[in-house]
Chains A and B, each alone.
Chain A
Amino acid sequence: MKSTHTLAVFLSIALLPSLGFAENILKLDEGVNLFAINGRELPKGSGFFSTKGEFSLSEGTNQILVSYTAEIKNGNSDELEESELSVITFTASDQPITISAPGISSSRQIEAFNNQRNWSLTTPDNAPIRYTANLLPLQGFRLGVDYEKELSEFNQTPAAAAIPPTETTALPTETINAHDTEQTVILKMLQHWYKLASPATQETFKASL
């Protein structure tokens, strides 16, 4: 029992995040491509027929890596053109957030979007969410880019949307109560580690049950 209390104290100081993040969901509007959340790259290739575009966020500061695929009119046909990658940092506060891009139908508009990064982050009642955004500087071949490494390097820079490494993982705020049973503490630990895991790890974990 002593070991449990020691662990509980440790968790209360260092690990457990708030459990009040059930409504912290990021919704993607049409054409928005999400590559990473809080420094972790998302897996590809799942949900072939799914129309889901919702992803969990942490309570507090979040950082996402996104691009926008626009349909550009070229003669009598449309071409798909992808914007540069934007790193966006914002604060989530127990409510769903939808990210969308302005209407883009020309090459000039997508260039302007790359320069202005005028994304729209809104709550369900259309209240705007304040954010900072920078382009993710990429050099060289674009095949097989390690976005987690690129974001880690980006976060070492003084860019407005950069988050120092110590802040990328939300520090715990949940306190383990003295009367918590051992199973309660274990449950909180499971929830904590599940949330910290990447989506791929979460899927691997669920498949192992």
Chain B
Amino acid sequence: MKKIALTLALSTAVFAQTSTAATLYDGDGLTYKLKGDWQIQLRDSASESKDPDVEFDDLELKNTVTYDLGNNLQAFGQLDFSFDKAAENQQSGDKLEEAYMGLKYDGVAFRVGKMNTSGDEFGVEAAYEKPAGTNEDQFEAMVDAGDDVLRVDADFDIVYLSVSHELESTGNTSQGDASTDLYVSTNFDALALAAAYQIYDNNSDSWGVSAQYDAGFVNLGADYSVSDIDGSDLDETTYNLVIRFEASQTTDFALGYVNVDDEIEKVDAWYANVSYRFPSQKNVTLFAEISDSDAGDESDILAGMQIKF
């Protein structure tokens, strides 16, 4: 009986679970990583006037270089190219999503350049494509990235703190309204709490709170964010409710509800998606999603594939 068990055990050895290594070079204090996030989907959007379409999302290639400067100090830089617009034939070339450099000491990193602002960290929304007429949250609705950003991220194990400021850069090609973001999160075992605040000059002041509870096979999340629009008595709010089920090691389900209210119009939306990760390569995901929104003509249906490395 043991011999049979032995043979069975050996036969399973071919199912190697190895993943693509993103590190291309590591030596003499230099680490060079190439990361990718590619997603292509067949989508019948919520607009009746649009036929089903092959859509591209992200199609990013991230080049990350880190130099070990000794004494726990590191210099790092990242160039993040996105080709989704090029794939949609909307432009002739690629798009630079992020370009920054910085220094990191222990758990504290300072970086300067083109990047997401700290408020982008906020939110629990879990849709592949946000339902028609909705935002992920109020920070995404106002501003969540910039060209002239200075940002500090500090990870103190229990507390994560991020502060960013985008310069106005008046007179330069990248000039725009300045914004300052603060994001803080903490974990108590399975409970994660977060809060964010943003001052967006000449536009709005926003704040938000979120909570997520990970009960193992099920993860619950909720967030609420509100923007006080400059020059208006009206506030704009977004809230999300999300529940994720882990049906197996390979399959996840997510259900979400989104509400956006600007005190003139209120949009209710929901979405449901399923994700399947190949057990032999967790980098590869097949997914499908359906969503419906007050702001859409019909349900938004999509299915696609995502590769991350």
* Complex CA distance for A31 and B17, rounded to whole angstroms: 8
* Complex CA distance for A13 and B26, rounded to whole angstroms: 44
B129-163 vs A: 1/0 string, CB under 8 Å? 00000001000100010000000000101001000
The answer to whether A42 touches B155, judged by C-beta atoms less than 8 angstroms apart, is no
The answer to whether A30 touches B16, judged by C-beta atoms less than 8 angstroms apart, is no
* Complex CA distance for A132 and B135, rounded to whole angstroms: 49
B23: chain A residues within 8 A (beta carbon): 82, 142
* Given contacts A106-B155, A139-B26, A141-B25, A56 and B10 within 8 Å (CB-CB): yes
* Complex CA distance for A194 and B160, rounded to whole angstroms: 52
**How many Cβ-Cβ contacts under 8 Å join chain A to chain B?**
139
A113: chain B residues within 8 A (beta carbon): none
The answer to whether A53 touches B15, judged by C-beta atoms less than 8 angstroms apart, is yes
A138: chain B residues within 8 A (beta carbon): 26
The answer to whether A43 touches B9, judged by C-beta atoms less than 8 angstroms apart, is no
* Given contacts A56-B6, A108-B157, A80 and B21 within 8 Å (CB-CB): no
Min CB gap B238→A, angstroms: 13
Is residue B168 contacting chain A, with contact meaning CB distance below 8 A?
A: no
A32-61 vs B: 1/0 string, CB under 8 Å? 111101000011111111111111100000
Min CB gap A24→B, angstroms: 8
Instruction: Give chain B's interface secondary structure class.
Output: mixed
* Given contacts A21-B6, A82-B22, A140-B25, A51 and B37 within 8 Å (CB-CB): no
A80: chain B residues within 8 A (beta carbon): 19, 22, 282-283, 308-309
B277-289 vs A: 1/0 string, CB under 8 Å? 0111011000000
The answer to whether B6 touches A46, judged by C-beta atoms less than 8 angstroms apart, is no
Is residue A153 contacting chain B, with contact meaning CB distance below 8 A?
A: no
B13-49 vs A: 1/0 string, CB under 8 Å? 1111111011111111000000101000000000000
The answer to whether B9 touches A56, judged by C-beta atoms less than 8 angstroms apart, is yes
Is residue A178 contacting chain B, with contact meaning CB distance below 8 A?
A: no
B37: chain A residues within 8 A (beta carbon): 77, 79
Partner of B16, one of A19, A25, A42, A108: A42
A123-149 vs B: 1/0 string, CB under 8 Å? 000000000000000111111000000
* Given contacts A50-B280, A106-B155, A191-B3, A199 and B25 within 8 Å (CB-CB): no
Q: Interface size on B (CB < 8 Å)?
A: 48
The answer to whether A47 touches B10, judged by C-beta atoms less than 8 angstroms apart, is no
The answer to whether A79 touches B17, judged by C-beta atoms less than 8 angstroms apart, is no
A37: chain B residues within 8 A (beta carbon): 13
The answer to whether B279 touches A53, judged by C-beta atoms less than 8 angstroms apart, is yes
B6: chain A residues within 8 A (beta carbon): 19, 21-22, 56, 191, 195
Is residue A157 contacting chain B, with contact meaning CB distance below 8 A?
A: no
A82: chain B residues within 8 A (beta carbon): 19, 21-23
The answer to whether B140 touches A79, judged by C-beta atoms less than 8 angstroms apart, is no
* Given contacts A30-B249, A76-B140, A143-B24, A107 and B16 within 8 Å (CB-CB): no
Among all A-B residue pairs, the 7 with the closest Cβ atoms: A47-B15, A22-B2, A22-B5, A46-B14, A108-B155, A52-B15, A199-B13
Q: Which residues of B contact A (CB under 8 A)?
A: 1-3, 5-6, 9-19, 21-28, 35, 37, 107, 116, 120-121, 123, 125, 136, 140, 144, 155, 157, 160, 248-250, 278-280, 282-283, 308-309
